[in-house]
Structures are given as C-alpha cells and as structure tokens.
Structure 1
Amino acid sequence: MVETPFRRDLDDEEIINFFIVCSIVGLFILGPVNYTCQQGPYQSKLSHSMDSFTISNIPKGSNRLWLHFSCLCFISFYVLHLLYKEYKGMLEKRIQHICNHRHQPDQFTVLVRGIPLCPEHNARGCFVDHFFSKYHSHSYESYQMVCDAKEIEELLHVASSLDRKIKNLQQRIAERKHSSRSIFSKMLQENVSQLEMQEEKLQEVLHKIHLLQHENILKGKELPAAFVSFRCRWGAALAAQTQQHEDPLLWITEVAPDPGDVLWNNLAIPYSQLVLHKIGVFIASALLTIFFALPVTAVQGIVQFENIKKWFPPVRAVQLIPGLSSVLTGYLPSFILNSFIYVVPYAMLSMANLGGCTSRSKREIKACNMVFCFLVGNVFFLSLLSGSLLDQIGESFTHPKDFPGRLASAVSAQADFFITYILTDGLSGFSLEILQFGLLIWHFIMAHSFGQETKNKPYLYSFPYFRVIPTVSLAILIGMVYAVIAPLLLPFLIVYFFLGYAVYVNQMQDVYESVYETHGQYWPYIHQYIFIAIILMQITMIGLFGLKSKPAASISTIPLLLLTILFNEYCKISFLPTFHHFPIKNARENDDRDEVEGQVEPKREPAIDAYRPPWLRSTDITSRESGFTQPLVTPP
C-alpha cells in the first residue's frame, strides 16, 4: 500500500476545528441573541422550539442583525484563512511527495494522442519514433504503442471462463475418486472426458491469444495513442506541457497517469470525438438530476404531513398509532432520501467512464463533480423548494416579487429537516461504511452466480472518493449556510464529522488499498466545493437581511461576496497551475539529485515497460486482476 500525505484530506481536523469555532460563536453569541429577542414571532407560541434560536426570531429592522453580519464576516474571513493555509500546505505536500516518489515511471513518461499515420510506412509506431527522435533527441528514450485489443480481451474472457470450468471439474473428480459406488464411477468417467475436452479448448484459445500478441499482428491494430518514455524527468515534463504541432489536434501530449491508473479501453476513443462524449455525459447526468427531483419532492411531501392529509385522507389512520407520525415526518424522509442517494455515485461513475477519461483518477474526479452538483441541486435546493415552499408555490406565481423573500425564509424553515438528514447520513451512512454491506452482497452474487472464487483470492478495493467527497462536501455546505441562520445545527454537524473522521481513517488504514496515485489532485476540487458553500452562505444572508428589512446589512454583505470571489481567483492564479502541471525546475532538481546519487540508469529502465497493456504482459488467466482492486496478499 502506498502511504501518502493526502489520505486524510477528506475529513481533516481543520474541518472539525472550523465548525467547533463556528459552534462557539453560534451557541454563545448568536443563540442567546436570537432567543432573548422579546419581540420575536416565536416567543409567544413556541418558546422552546428550535425556531426561537434561529434568525427567524429576530424582528424586522432590529439592530441585532448587525451582530449576525459581524459573525458572518468573522466566519467568512476565518474559512478563507483556513483555505489559503490548506491550499498552500497541499501544494508543498504535492511537490514533496513527487520528490519522494521521483522514481515512479509516470514521471518519465508522456501520453501522446492524435498520432497521424507515417506517410512512408503507413504505420503510427515508426512515426512516433521519428518524431520524438528528431524534436526531442536530447531526452527521448522509447515508446509503447496502444493497440486495439478487443479480440484479445474477448479470448481472455473465454479462457478465464474455461479455466473456472476446469477447476470445478477437477474438484468434482477429486471428490468422486473416493467413492466406490458404480453410479459415481460412471459420472467420474464423464467428468474426466469433459475435463480433457475443456483443457483442449483452453489450449486452443491460449494459442490464438499468443498469435494475436505477435508484433506483426499488433502493428496492424495500432491506435493513434502511445506512451513515450524519456531519459530524464525534465524532458518528459517539457514534452508533456508544450504544443508539439501547429495543428492542435495532432500530437497532443499530457503527463502520463500512474500505470495502475490507466483506462486502456478509453484510449481507443479518437481525441476529436471526446467533445461528443463529454456532451453526452453532461446530458445524461442532467437528465438523472432532473428525474431524481420526483422522489425528492415525494420525500419532502412526507415532511409536510398536513398537506398529505389534505391530498390523501386515508393517511389520517397513521395518527392512531402513537409516535408513528413523528417517525414518518422526521426520520423516514431522510432515510428514504439517503437510500436513493446511495446508488447515485455509482451511476455517475458509469457515466463518467463514457466521457473518454484516460485514467481512473480523472474519471472519479469527473464523477465527484457530477455527484456534488447533483447533491447540491436535489438535496439542498430542491429540499428547500419542495419543502417549506410547497404550500406557497401558488402565491409565489401570483406575487413573483415576493419569491426571493420566500426563498430566504425557506432556508431557516428547513433547519429541522437538515438536522435529521445529517443524523441519518451519519448513523446509516457510517454504519454501512463499516459493515461494507454493499460489497458483501456483491461478493455473494459474484461467488454464487458467476462462479468467481472470491474466497480463495480476496481483494482490497480502492477508496471511493467519488462517493465520500461529495457527501462530506454537502455536509460542509449545509453547515456553512446554517452557521449564522440556525447555529443549533452545528453541534450535530460536529458529531457527524467526528464519526466520519474515526470511520474513514480506520477504513483508509485497514480496509481500502491505494490502487493509483494522484499526488493530491482532489484538493483543488474540494477547495472549489467549499468556495461554493461560502458563496451560498453569503447570498443567503443577503436575502435574509433584505427579508428582515435591513438593506444596509444586505448592501454591506456585497463587498464581502466580491472579496470572496477575488480570493478564489487569487488561489486559481497562485496555486492551481502547479496542480495541473509539473514545474520544469523541480523536475530538473530531481534529475540532478539522481545524478549525484548515481541512480539514473537503474531507475530509468522500469519506465519503458511499465506501460505495457495488461493483455500483453501475461496470459496467466488465473492471476488477472481488476483495475479497481489489488490482491490482499501479493507474492514475494
């Protein structure tokens, strides 16, 4: 397992410390200010409800709203300080981590796409060698073409199926040899003949695979993609980050992903068609987000129990059972919502795979972005609209000028639902994470339906960043939006993060395996999610200050919003480029360090062969591994 300094970035202590500070501000400053407001609308009716501790209890035009504005400024500047500190620290960790792992083959290798045919030999491989020998003669080493291997993969699948049948027959023969009954002796002879037949078929398939793996056959199936190895890191970095041809669709270079990170099948997609694939993925994810609005609206309808009784009178029978209506309107909506959401990340991951990503890390980052947008749209915004505004939609259409005010009031009105959502996600989500219930079901299906011998060959799975990061980011967003509006939500959020920290640190250390290395590539996206949360917090407060007839506070929040946007642009300029590229200076320093230590030649050789496609490495079908997993016990 590769230990990296990025394994704990998802639920770092900084997040917990931030919300502890926000809780102190909210519980000891904002909470008492909200509750002691004698003219509040909830003082006469619901003095012990949560609404008495929210900004909703502050009357219109009250000067106490300036205290909320001050807390908003404090929280905003504090989180911006933490983001700057974390971004800078992550950048230093990234550079140091690359230096510590400077002998990895991806630092010597470049992925080249859009390779044209050689006009002389009508082949692509020789053109790669000619091109880089001419224009990168100082550092070019070798190349590995990517070939169309669909036929080989199909034969390997057939060989794997035959191998399983042979093992099952061998097991039956071994069991029936110990029996003296005549009926078993006849069945034994049949099994022996079947075994010989299956072994002959397997040998024929393996022979076909060896023929297809021949160099002359592969030359006719070359794809316009190749991995090019260099003698030094700075040569690879220079080639990967410069335009090689006046036609931007030819000789496109990029830093090669980690060998275990490559999605070989997607390299067959022509570079010019990637735009169509991305558009298709965008449309598919948008449709999924839109259609998912139906169950979310239905779930929020359960919260509005009075409306359900109006629309569906038989549901009144629920009130006859003590406590059932509370469970129905409290815990059940969040449980149903979390159940639906659990399958969404895997659907988004499948869609991202159709987008033509060349590596698993890029595919998971793409899925991570789609899942986050999905959660913000369906869980946050749609929960607001379909919940507290459900009975006011008609009035909003007849009085459109009042809609911003109704939307602002919806945020504070839905605080109870989001508390229940966080608790449900924490209790059920973390419990499922510990039990690995989904993987247990998957292993059971594979073992009993497809004949996969998972007991003999256990696997460790990679950490599901595409599922965990958006879920935790949504919790951060909810906490930041409600930090000033409903501070009583924050202690529940702290419990959520403490549970998540304990669970995921354990899972990373003892359950999941690192299949590939990204050198901290997830952090810029996490930063962007938190930035969106800050913007939503400030926009919501602008609307609430306007709703509370405090236009001066609304206007004063606008410069704070602009400063936040400028801060994000500064981070993009100062830090983001180094996450997308690798500095030539650092590459040259690592090369010089190798020369001083005399480690150039021994470490350069693995980069040439590390990017051989899996169908060319071996035909040992019994040891073929999934790209998502690593063997639990590796041979010495």
Structure 2
Amino acid sequence: MKAESLLVSAAINIGLAILILSLFSILKNQPFYASVYYARRLHLRQNPFAPPRPSALHRLLPSVDWIRRAVRVSEDEIFETHGLDVLVFIRFFKFGINFFVVCSLIGMVVLLPLNYTGSSVKPKSYHSMDAFAISNISSGSNRLWVHFSVLCFVSCYALYLLYKNKAKSAAKRIEDLKVKQSTNKCSGKSFLSGAYRKKDKIEKLEEKLQELHCKIRHVRREMMLQEKELPVAFVTFKSRWGAVIAAQSQQHSNPLLWITEMAPEPRDVLWRNLATPYRILPIYEIGILVAVVFLTLFFAIPVTAVQGIAKYERLSKWFPPVKALELIPGLKSVVTGYLPSAILNGFIYIIPFAMIGLSRLAGYITRSKKEMKACKMVFYFLVANVFFLSLLSGSLLDQIGQSFSQPKNIPSRLASAVSAQADFFMTYILTNGLSGFSLEILQPGLLIWDAIKPSTWDRGKERNPYLYSLPYYRIIPFVALCTLIGIVYAVVSPLLLPFLVGYFLLGYVVVTNQIEDVYITSYETHGQFWPCIHHYIIVALVIMQITMIGLFGLKSKPSASFATIPLMILTLLFNEYCKIRFYPSFRHLSVQDATTNDELDQKDGVMEENVRNALDAYSPPCLLPMGFEVPESGSMALSGSTQPLLP
C-alpha cells in the first residue's frame, strides 16, 4: 500500500468521524431525540435539559460539551453509580491510553529515527511504512539490540500496568462486596418503568395488571406442580460465613453429584436455563465450538478477498481489467486504502451478534457468563480472521509470484509478513476507531427505528426511552484486538502507535458518554470481566514476543532471539502468579471478608433483614408479588426476576 492510499484512508475516516460527531452533538441537544441519547437519564426520572437551557440557535450548532462532561467523570462516580463492572471496562481504555502514550514517545523518539537511518539502500517494497519499520534495519546490525531493549521495556511496562490494575480491581471488588451487601442491594420486586406514565390512567392500568398478574401466577403454579423438580436450588444461609464455607467445599464424594457455588446476583440469573441438566452442558459447549470453527472458516473467504483488494499492484498483474481504476484520479487510492478495511469491518460487524446467539444455547444460568463466553469467542475469532488470516493472506498474495520462482525463500517471506502488513492494520484501526466509535455514539439504527415507529404501529402513543444494557460482548473484543495489534507492532512499526492513542482517547469519551446517558446496568459481577481483559493482554504480549523471536532470526541476530525467550517465560510466569494471587479473589469471597461483613451486619442489626431480602430476591418469578414502583436508580433495570421460570 502506497503513501497516498494511507493518506486517503486517514482523510476519509477523519472526515467521516468529524461529520458524524458533529451531527451527534446537534441531535443530542434536541429534546425530540432524548429517548435515544438520554435513555438512561429519562429512565431515572432525570431531566437532561434542565435550566439553563441553551438557545435554539446554540442547539443547532456542533459542540464539544459532551466531551468535557465525559472527561470530568471520575472513577469514584462511575463506581458508585454504575458498579465495578463498568469501572473495569473504563479502566481498559485507560490502560490503553497510558500504555500507548508511553510506547508512542519511545517509538517516535528512539525507534523511528533508528529505523529510518538503519539502511543505506532504499527499500524495494512498495509498502509505504517499510522505511520506518524494523524491516529497514540491515541484517546483523547491532541496532537491533536497541529494539530488544525497547521490547523488554514494553513488556515489563505492560506487566506493571496489568499488575497495578489487577490489584486495584481486586481491592475494589472486596470493597464493592462489603458496601453493596451491607446496604441490602438485592430486591425481589418486579418493577414497571413509568417514565412516561399518565397520571389519569395509572390507577385503571394498575387494576387491570393486578388482575392479569393473578391469573398468570395461578396458571404458572399449576404448571410448576405438574413438572418435575429442577436440578438446581438457591439455598439461603443465616450468615455469609456459612454460605462461603458451603460454596467452597465439596459436599459429596462424587464431585459431579452435588456441585455448590456462590449464587449470582438475582438480576444476573437466567431462570429459563435453570432446568438444564449439568451433565448436558459439555455437549452444548462442543456443539458451539464446532459452530464457531465453521463460522471462522466461512469468514476466511471475505477476509482473503479483502487482502486481494488491498494488494492492487499484484492483483493488477494477475487480473489486468482492474487497471481501469487508474482512469479516474484518486479512485485507486480510495479502493486500496479505505475500501478493504471498511469492507472487513462491515463483514465482522455481525460476528458479536452471532456469538451472543450461540452463547445463549450453551445453557448458562447467568447473563454475565453468557456475555463472557461471547467475548471470548468474538476475541479469538478476530485474532484468527482479522489478525492472523489478514497477515498470512496478505503476505501470500504479495509474494506468490516470487515464491514460485524461488520456493526456498517461502519461509523467510512469510516471516516478514508482520512488517509488510503494518499499513493495512493502520487503516483498520482508523476505520474501526474513528468510524466505529462515531457510529456507536450516533446510533443510526435506533434513529431510523425511532423515525419509523411513530408513523406506523406506534402512532399516537407515548415515546419511551430505548433502554439497553452495556454490550460488553460487542466492544471489549474489538478493543482487545486493537490492543493486540498495537502491542505486536510496538517494536516492529512504531508509526502505528499514535493512531492507537487516538483510538483509545476517542473510545474513552464515547463509552463514558454512553454509560452516563444511554446504557443501564442490568447486572453486576463485581469486576469479573477484568480477568478476561487480563488474559487478552497476556495473549497479545506472548504473540509480540514470538514475533520478535522470528524477526530477530530473520535479521541474522540469533543472540537477540535467544535473549527474548526468557522474557516470554517471565510473561507466562507473571500470568501464573496473577492467577494464584488475584484470580481466587475474583471467583470467591474469602472467609475473612465474609466474617467481617457478618460482624458489621450484627452490629447494625440487619442480619435477619438480609436473610428475608435474600429469600425474596431468589424466589421464582411466578411467585413474586406484582409491584409498580419506579426504581430510584438504574441498577435494578431489566431485573432477572422478570424472566419466567419455565417456558
């Protein structure tokens, strides 16, 4: 890919981002679109347009007020308002900002001049970033030891940030469990959101709903009596100490006969899946794995085709009719620079929805496990298809002609694919970051849906806010993939790093705006998403180190390759240490913390009240009383107790 193609891609993405964000800032100031851009605040009975209201002219002008508000939100505010899961999610973006800012400074000051002056011979390759990458360093040069030193620093700095965030998240989890449990967080009522209720109709509607609810409860009770007992039960203990001891001990000599674990949060429970036998779950897992493998293989076709578009110089030799693109000035740069990454992002947009659909079939009893499974599947799909397949297919298409004439050089050419594909991944990050986050905050799908509903089946009805929970499965894997790309290219091609800084800065303000104004918290796992994020970053570090071992070997510096092996071992040992040191804290509540919480409850005299609340919270939905209270916070939205127990 030539320099003009990169510049065209950057110009298109930056221009689209400015246009979309400007349009968003205008629409956000219009009360008509409050149900889209202030769904959470409307659900909480907050007025997003409280005085002093801007003038009509000011509302029609683009502004950056939403960015200033997002930047001012502190971690403590996020923790208190949205919970530890959202805080962990935000810390992922902060990790990316801190890591890539430092790596960018080192790369631009140290590696970039070193690479550019590393060879007196002008690169023959048409890749525009080769002159600034490690591929421009002469074979056997002692300058490669500078790259090795930067590799060590980058790896150790990433491990330091991981340890720091892991320790902070573990401490926050303990604090969260103490605070939330001692304030009677759980409630067993089923709520009806009434942000737009009319006062003159509320009493009649309540009477009708009460009557219908009584009939539904009667039918469901009859159905429960006709069915067999479920193979699962929620057991309530009089103290947290007793619950922790029972959950972390083996109850039977056959460990598969009686399995105990701490109960998830009531909102997190998927009541439909409680009837799934435990022994059938591995079969579901195998079926889902097979489906994911076939999906990955199927998407290999469009990914390879995208690389064919990106490699215009080679493609024009094999398929001469594509030279017609040169007849229109600038069209070739658009096709080779912007189009491949845009097509790739379009194809993989549906992957998160396909994976969350597959994870629903796995029989998980909680929403959190379902989303974590979807996150894992999407991440490895992206690593396999977007990273490795783009890497391999791009290099093969690039050098297949020479490979036929010199087959002995195939391994070395494939090993150099990492530096050769830096330009493509730069355009991918630009498209995924600028266009992706801009469309996330604009929500064009909801805007179209909101325009269609009032004029069709919802004509004359009240406009309700569009309430959705934060889609972890749709955002975390893509951010993790861009983190992996940035880490792998931190030493190989440092010119890529400043784009990663912009990616995480934009992602931070967009996601913060969304969690403050749009998304609600539908469940809380007390930070269990951070071990998943930790795992993704460790995978990225290991891939980077393996890549550098190969590159040092290609550059005739075997001593640097052997010196990298202990660094990779150190990374793996660090990961094992974190599993031993922190993972149990995310999975279990310690006996010490449980005893401390019990002592605090006894001191406050709320032990019996907590037991009653737990009994109500984990009652089957069909046995719960009907209530019409509006929650005081968004934490109880989309309560798990509203799900039916049986189909």
Instruction: Report the TM-score when normalising by structure 2.
Output: 0.77
Alignment of 1:470-481 (within 5 A): 470-481=477-488
Q: 1:389 aligns with which of 396, 402, 407?
A: 396
Distance 1:216 1:408 in 2: 63
Establish whether residue 16 from structure 1 lines up as the match of residue 97 from structure 2: yes
Residue pair 2:429, 2:499 contacting (<8 A) in 1 also: yes
Cα distance in 1 between the residues matched to 2:613 and 2:460: 32
Contact 2:140 2:556 in 1 (8 A): yes
Matched residue, 1:112: none
**Residues 315/631 of structure 1: CA separation in 2 closer, same or farther (3 Å cut):** same
What is the CA-CA distance between 1:266 and the residue it aligns to?
Answer: 1.3
1:604 paired residue number: 611
Superposed displacement of residue 425, structure 1: 0.8
Q: Could you tell me which amino acid in structure 2 is paired with residue 313 of structure 1? A: P
2:19 equivalent in structure 1: none
In the alignment, structure 1 residue 82 sits paired with structure 2 residue 152: no
Alpha-carbon distance change, 628 to 325 in structure 1, aligned in 2, over 3 angstroms: farther
Equivalences for 1:148-547 in 2 at 5 Å?
Answer: 209-214=216-221, 217-218=224-225, 220-393=227-400, 402-441=409-448, 455-547=462-554
Q: Determine whether 1:7 maps to 2:86.
A: yes
Alignment partner of 1:39 is 2:142: no
> Structure 1 514/270 Cα, relative in aligned 2: closer, same or farther at 3 Å?
same
1:37 positional shift = 2.2
Which consecutive residues of structure 1, in runs of 5 or more, have no partner in the other structure?
110-170, 172-198
Q: Percent identity, aligned pairs only?
A: 57
Cα distance, 1:49–1:271 mapped onto 2, change above 3 Å: closer
Whether the 8 Å contact between 1:481 and 1:537 is mirrored in structure 2 is yes
Q: Residues 549 and 452 from structure 1, CA distance in 2 versus in 1: closer, same or farther, beyond 3 angstroms?
A: farther
What's the CA shift for 1:456?
4.1
Offset at 1:615?
3.5
Q: Compute the displacement of 1:467 (Å).
A: 1.2
Change beyond 3 A, Cα 1:618–1:331? farther
Question: Alpha carbons of 1:613 and 1:394: their partners in 2 closer, same or farther (altered >3 Å)?
Answer: farther
Query: Secondary structure of 2:260's partner?
Result: strand
Q: Distance in 2 between matches of 1:395 and 1:454?
A: 67
Output one character per residue of 1:447-503: Cα deviation in whole Å (capped at 9) or x when no partner. 788869995442421111111111111111111111111001001111111111111
Q: Give the equivalent residue in structure 1 for 2:600.
A: 593
**Structure 1 residues 32 and 474: CA distance shift in structure 2, 3 A:** same
CA distance in 2, matches of 1:452, 1:541: 61
Q: CA RMSD in A?
A: 3.4
Larger mean Cα displacement after TM superposition, 530-539 or 605-614: 605-614
The match for 1:58 is 137
Q: Is the 8 A contact 2:182 2:601 kept in 1?
A: no
Which amino acid counterpart does residue 291 of structure 1 have in structure 2? F
* Residues in 1 aligned to 2:289 and 2:339: alpha-carbon distance in whole angstroms: 32
Going from structure 1 to structure 2, the CA distance change for 1:220 and 1:8 (only over 3 Å counts) comes to closer
Structure 1 residues 401 and 519: CA distance shift in structure 2, 3 A:
farther
Q: Name the SS of the counterpart of 2:261 in structure 1.
A: strand
Matched residue SS, 2:637? strand
Higher strand share: 1
Alpha-carbon contact 1:335-1:424 (below 8 Å) kept: yes
Whole-angstrom CA distance in 1 between matches of 2:290 and 2:460: 38
Q: CA deviation at 1:399?
A: 7.5
Q: Counterpart of 1:579 in structure 2: which amino acid?
A: F
Q: 1:560 aligns with which of 567, 570, 577?
A: 567
Q: Distance in 2 between matches of 1:50 and 1:216?
A: 67
Kindly state the Cα deviation for residue 316 of structure 1 after the two structures are TM-superposed. 2.1
Q: Deviation at 1:607?
A: 0.5
* SS of residue matched to 1:225: coil
Residue 631 of structure 1 deviates from its aligned partner by: 7.2
| Equivalent-residue separation in structure 2 for 1:448 and 1:285 (angstroms) | 40
For 2:593 and 2:638, the matched residues in 1 are separated by 34
How far apart, in 1, do the equivalents of 2:107 and 2:253 lie? 58
Residues 26/463 of structure 1: CA separation in 2 closer, same or farther (3 Å cut): same
Residue 28 of structure 2 is matched in structure 1 by none
1:24 deviates by: 1.1
Deviations 1:78-125 (A, max 9, x none): 11111111111111111111111124779999xxxxxxxxxxxxxxxx
Contact 2:187/2:617 (CA < 8 Å) preserved in 1?
Answer: no
1:154 alignment counterpart: none
2:16 equivalent in structure 1: none
Q: Separation in 1 of the partners of 2:406 and 2:460?
A: 64
Residue 595 of structure 2 corresponds to residue 576 of structure 1: no
Q: Find the aligned partners of 1:241 and 1:398 in 2 and give their Cα distance.
A: 63
Distance 2:86 2:629 in 1: 32
Offset at 1:213? 3.2
Q: Does 1:27 align with 2:27?
A: no
- The answer as to whether partners of 1:26 and 1:484 remain within 8 angstroms in 2 is yes
2:147 matched residue in structure 1: 68
C-alpha distance in 2 between matches for 1:476 and 1:235: 42
- Residue in structure 1 matching 2:178, options 78, 99, 102: 99
Q: Which amino acid aligns with 1:72?
A: L
Q: Distance in 1 between matches of 2:496 and 2:86?
A: 28
Work out whether residues 267 and 638 of structure 2, in 8 Å CA contact, stay in contact via their aligned partners in 1. no
Is 2:276–2:363's contact at 8 Å kept on the other side of the alignment?
A: yes
The 8 Å contact of residues 384 and 410 in structure 1, kept in 2 or not, is answered as yes
Per-residue deviation, residues 303-350 of structure 1 (Å, max 9, x unmatched):
011333344433222211110110000011111111112111111001
Closer, same or farther: CA 216–55 of 1 in aligned 2, 3 Å:
closer
Residues 86 and 205 (structure 1), Cα distance of their counterparts in 2 relative to 1, 3 Å cut: closer
Cα deviation, residue 445, structure 1: 7.2
User: Greater CA radius of gyration, 1 or 2?
Assistant: 1
Contact 1:459 1:630 (C-alpha < 8 Å) held by counterparts: no
Cα distance in 2, alignment partners of residues 622 and 448 from structure 1: 31
- One-letter amino acid matched to 2:549: I
Indicate if the aligned counterparts of 1:229 and 1:607 stay in contact, CA closer than 8 A: yes
Cα distance in 2, alignment partners of residues 415 and 503 from structure 1: 26
CA distance in 2, matches of 1:631, 1:98: 21
- The answer to whether the 8 Å contact 1:405/1:544 transfers is no
Rounded to whole Å, the distance in 2 between the matches of 1:248 and 1:452 is 57
CA distance in 2, matches of 1:72, 1:205: 66
More contact order relative to length (CA 8 Å, sep ≥ 6): 2
Q: Cα offset for 1:391?
A: 4.0
Q: Deviation per CA, 1:245-278: give whole Å up to 9, x if none.
A: 2232323222111111111111121111011011
Measured in 2, the distance between the counterparts of 1:30 and 1:103 equals 53
Q: Which moved more, 1:307-316 or 1:278-287?
A: 307-316
SS in 2 for 1:231: coil
Do the aligned partners of 1:244 and 1:251 also contact (CA within 8 Å) in 2?
A: yes
Q: Structure 1's 37 and 525: CA in aligned 2 closer, same or farther, altered over 3 A?
A: same
Hey, what's the Cα distance between the residues in 2 that align with 1:381 and 1:279?
Answer: 24
Once residues 347 and 545 of structure 2 are traced to their aligned partners in structure 1, the CA distance between those partners, rounded to angstroms, is 30
* One-letter amino acid matched to 1:74: F
Are 2:186 and 2:266, in contact at CA under 8 Å, matched by a contact in 1?
Answer: no
Matched residue pairs, number? 541
The 8 Å contact of residues 297 and 382 in structure 1, kept in 2 or not, is answered as yes
